[in-house]
């Protein structure tokens, strides 16, 4: 998976002494797998839980534990001080797990080991994932330390509630590596090229009720819309994701609004879009809905069942109209899901709905469109530009679309 915000980044992973240190090895492995260079620093206590060799094996890089060990540059033969070199090189300092003791040191600027020295010396943003017993977490001293760090701009992820090392249940478990990785993306992207931008993205297939148990819907998994929302978040945007039901997990670092029907999606998008910088509609919105959904489950009869359908609101067209009145999103982008005459139909939608950009999506291809992780789209702009993109991951398609939206903002 190629995620642009992680490409060529260097993350310094600080591991402190808690049982959750084993999860830090999973985190180091995940980061390495997506192309991040991970420098690991263990406190002395952390080495009691997980051996440095584990981290060396998963990152294929040296692991650091000692403040007083000087390094020799193999090229120049010069000595360098690891905490200064590591502190300068990092794009992000991530401490996971962060014990109550380390939180206290960070809050008070105490530098008595390699990790806390790096924390004082680095200009990189700091992300911490606390893990401790619930009484330690709830203690006013810890809460004050966390508040101090948050005020200073440090991002804190977790802890979550669940089973703790002592056998008790409570708040204090380190967040799962997947969630920490998501937060790392958020923090790394904070000063990205979509910083200060407010964007709205729609995802998933709407459901139009037939009766309390049945509905009309389509094959959308939400993957394309979620990829767009996450890519915008990773580039620093404030994102509202309006999503019909999907099986995807709720993303961190953005606002998610759950809806079911086209009418609910329209209301949510209208509320979120009035002062948005862009709206991108990847949702597969039902074009028709049953006029009068039954209040009770429809019983099986001998005869066939006839449903009377009416058109749903065309959300995209309405938002583009509002934009012309100065009340809608500044840029309006749609998708065209087609099984024939791809470009002709997409161009017609672009013009009829008065969009800035449309992604023409041949949904009859096995490797593109609904449900799969890849997509192949042709981007048609209102100025007549046609850009046929090759097969890509949905994450990469999302970045291509945001690149075009950035250009549209620039050209006004």
- Give catalytic residue positions: 218
How crowded is residue 132: how many other Cβ atoms within 10 Å of its Cβ?
A: 27
Which of 336, 380, 398, 408 touches ligand PMT (CB under 6 A)?
Answer: 336
Which of 122, 175, 273, 312 touches ligand PMT (CB under 6 A)?
Answer: 312
Q: Is the CB of 5 or the CB of 285 nearer to ligand PMT?
A: 285
Which range, of 7-15, 22-30, 129-137, 221-229, touches ligand PMT by CB under 6 A? Answer: 221-229
Which of 252, 283, 342, 401 touches ligand PMT (CB under 6 A)?
Answer: 283
- Measured over the CA atoms of residue 283, residue 287, residue 292 and residue 295, the dihedral's sign is negative
220 binds ligand PMT (CB under 6 A): yes
To ligand PMT, the closest distance from the beta carbon of 357 in angstroms equals: 11
Give the residue from 195, 190, 197, 215 showing the smallest Cα distance to 205: 215
Q: Is the CB of 177 or the CB of 369 nearer to ligand PMT?
A: 369
To ligand PMT, the closest distance from the beta carbon of 265 in angstroms equals: 8
- By CB under 6 A, the residues from 239 to 278 that bind ligand PMT are 262
288 binds ligand PMT (CB under 6 A): no
Q: Which two tokens stand for residue 127?
A: 């992300």
Q: What are phi and psi of 153, to 5 degrees?
A: 100, 5
To ligand PMT, the closest distance from the beta carbon of 385 in angstroms equals: 18
Categorise residue 109: left if φ over 0, alpha if ψ from -120 to 50, beta otherwise.
Answer: left
To ligand PMT, the closest distance from the beta carbon of 268 in angstroms equals: 12
Which of 335, 350, 362, 405 touches ligand PMT (CB under 6 A)?
Answer: 335
Burial of 370 (0-12, 13-18, 19+ CB in 10 A): middle
- By CB under 6 A, the residues from 313 to 332 that bind ligand PMT are 313-316
Helix, strand and coil in the chain, % to nearest 5? 35, 25, 40
Q: Is the CB of 122 or the CB of 221 nearer to ligand PMT?
A: 221
Give the residue from 386, 383, 391, 385 showing the smallest Cα distance to 362: 391
Q: Is the CB of 43 or the CB of 273 nearer to ligand PMT?
A: 273
- By CB under 6 A, the residues from 337 to 356 that bind ligand PMT are 337, 349
Alpha-carbon gap, residue 156 to 142, rounded angstroms: 13
Q: Give the binding-site size for ligand PMT (rule: CB under 6 A).
A: 28
Which range, of 20-28, 64-72, 365-373, 401-409, touches ligand PMT by CB under 6 A? Answer: 365-373
Helix spans in 201-309 (H): 223-234, 262-273
To ligand PMT, the closest distance from the beta carbon of 384 in angstroms equals: 19
400 binds ligand PMT (CB under 6 A): no
Q: Which two tokens stand for residue 209?
A: 């009720």
Which of 223, 235, 323, 330 touches ligand PMT (CB under 6 A)?
Answer: 223
The answer to whether the CB of 128 falls within 8 A of the CB of 98 is yes
To ligand PMT, the closest distance from the beta carbon of 104 in angstroms equals: 45
100 binds ligand PMT (CB under 6 A): no
Q: Is the CB of 170 or the CB of 313 nearer to ligand PMT?
A: 313
The answer to whether the CB of 316 falls within 8 A of the CB of 332 is yes
Residues in CB range of 95: below 8 A, 6 or more apart: 13, 14, 15, 16, 102, 106, 115, 119, 126, 127, 128, 129
Q: Compose the 175-204 pattern: x for residues touching ligand PMT by CB under 6 A, - for all others.
A: ------------------------------
Straight-line distance from the first to the last Cα atom of the chain, in angstroms, rounded to the nearest whole number: 33
Alpha-carbon gap, residue 260 to 206, rounded angstroms: 5
Alpha-carbon gap, residue 145 to 128, rounded angstroms: 12
To ligand PMT, the closest distance from the beta carbon of 278 in angstroms equals: 13
User: Which spans of this chain sit near ligand PMT (rule: CB under 6 A)?
Assistant: 220-225, 262, 281-285, 287, 312-316, 334-337, 349, 361, 363, 369-371
């Amino acid at each position: 998976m190629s995620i642009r915000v992680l490409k060529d980044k260097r993350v310094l992973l600080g591991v402190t002494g808690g049982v959750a240190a084993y999860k830090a090895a999973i985190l180091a492995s995940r980061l390495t797998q997506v192309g991040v260079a991970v420098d690991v620093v263990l406190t002395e206590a952390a080495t009691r839980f997980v051996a440095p060799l584990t981290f060396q094996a998963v990152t294929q890089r040296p692991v650091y534990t000692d403040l007083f060990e000087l390094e020799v540059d193999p090229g120049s033969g010069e000595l360098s001080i690891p905490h200064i070199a590591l502190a300068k090189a990092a794009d992000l300092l991530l401490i996971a797990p962060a014990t109550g003791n380390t939180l206290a040191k960070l809050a008070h600027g105490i530098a008595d080991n390699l990790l806390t020295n790096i924390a004082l010396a680095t200009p990189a943003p700091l992300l911490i994932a606390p893990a401790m017993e619930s009484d330690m977490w709830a203690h006013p001293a810890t809460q004050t330390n966390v508040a101090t760090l948050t005020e200073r701009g440090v991002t804190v992820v977790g802890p979550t509630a669940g089973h703790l090392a002592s056998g008790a249940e409570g708040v204090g478990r380190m967040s799962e590596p997947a969630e920490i990785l998501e937060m790392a993306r958020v923090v790394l992207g904070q000063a990205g090229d979509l910083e200060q931008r407010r964007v709205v993205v729609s995802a998933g297939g709407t459901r139009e009720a037939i009766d309390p148990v049945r509905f009309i819907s389509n094959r959308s998994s939400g993957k394309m819309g979620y990829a767009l929302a996450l890519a915008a978040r990773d580039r620093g945007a404030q994102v509202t994701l309006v999503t019909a039901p999907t099986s995807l997990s709720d993303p961190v670092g953005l606002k998610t609004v759950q809806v079911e029907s086209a009418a609910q999606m329209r209301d949510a998008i209208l509320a979120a879009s009035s002062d948005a910088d862009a709206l991108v509609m990847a949702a597969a919105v039902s074009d028709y809905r049953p006029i009068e959904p039954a209040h009770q489950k429809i019983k099986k009869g001998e005869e066939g069942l006839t449903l009377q359908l009416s058109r749903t609101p065309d959300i995209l067209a309405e938002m583009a109209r509002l934009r012309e009145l100065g009340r809608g999103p500044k840029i309006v982008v749609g998708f065209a899901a087609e099984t024939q005459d791809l470009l002709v139909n997409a161009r017609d939608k672009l013009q009829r709905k008065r969009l800035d950009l449309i992604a023409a999506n041949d949904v009859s291809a096995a490797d593109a469109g609904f449900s799969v992780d890849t997509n192949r789209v042709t981007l048609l702009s209102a100025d007549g530009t046609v850009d046929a993109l090759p097969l890509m991951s949905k994450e990469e398609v999302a970045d291509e679309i945001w690149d075009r939206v950035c250009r549209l903002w620039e050209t006004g």
